[in-house]
Amino acid sequence: MLIIKTYINEKEIDDIHIWNTGECTGVDNNIWKYKILKPKGFEDWNLHHKRDDGYLPLLAKAIEILTKYKE
């Protein structure tokens, strides 16, 4: 699980949990399915990510969804 913690100075204000479901998709099974577990309300969203690309593109996809659809 990718866990991103956000701080202002020493005070933690939020965190994001992105979970690898263990399901592979795509050619040669190199694309993995992820879900946003925290914040609540995004569990039904699916993120598809190539692990070789590193965590930043996965985080960017999650932040785009959270920014666009957070109530």
Q: What is the pLDDT of residue 64?
A: 94
Alpha carbon separation from 50 to 6, 11, 69 (Å, rounded)? 24, 33, 23
Segment holding 14, helix H or strand E: strand 11-25
What pLDDT is recorded for position 17?
Answer: 97
Indicate the helix (H) or strand (E) that contains 5: strand 2-8
CA dist 11 to 4, 14, 18, 22, 34, Å? Answer: 14, 9, 22, 33, 28
Please give the tally of structural domains in the chain. Answer: 1
Confidence class of residue 71 from pLDDT cuts 50, 70 and 90? Answer: low
pLDDT of residue 67: 93
Please answer whether residues 3 and 15 qualify as being in contact, where contact means their C-beta atoms are separated by less than 8 angstroms: yes
Q: Which domain holds residue 17?
A: 2-69
Residues 24-64: tens digit of each pLDDT? 887 677 899 999 999 999 999 999 999 889 999 999 999 99
